Amino acid sequence: MTTQQLSTSTVTVAELRDVVRVAVERHPDQRARIDKGATIVLLRAIAPDPTYAYCFTVESEGEPGRFYSVDHGVGVCDCADHERRGVVCGHQWAVRLLEALARLHGRQAVAVAA
């Protein structure tokens, strides 16, 4: 059996809006970071790390060309926002949103360069 993968090219804006709406309903205090995550899903590169399960490389929303490591399994990112504040950052939200979209499609989350 082959696992089908989801890339950002197969996601519609309407689907992303729905996933963002649900995330904001569940985490209203995280709205700004969820919105940043949605921007990353649409415009930046996200790639799974082939050597570590649940790890992704996520391009910065504000600094194109800069990448951060997100360990979705443990809930950490090496960006300053997460390291200094201990919050779920925009990069982590991007992975969460992408995985929610993948579940909608019944696929594994894999995004390609934007």
Contact call for residues 71 and 54 (beta carbons, < 8 A)? yes
CA distance 39 to 62: 10
* Residue extents of the structural domains in the chain: 5-109
pTM attached to this predicted model: 0.86
* pLDDT tens digits, one per residue of 34-90: 999 999 999 999 998 888 888 999 999 999 999 999 998 899 999 999 999 999 999
What length does the chain have? 114
Number of H helices, E strands in the chain: 4, 6
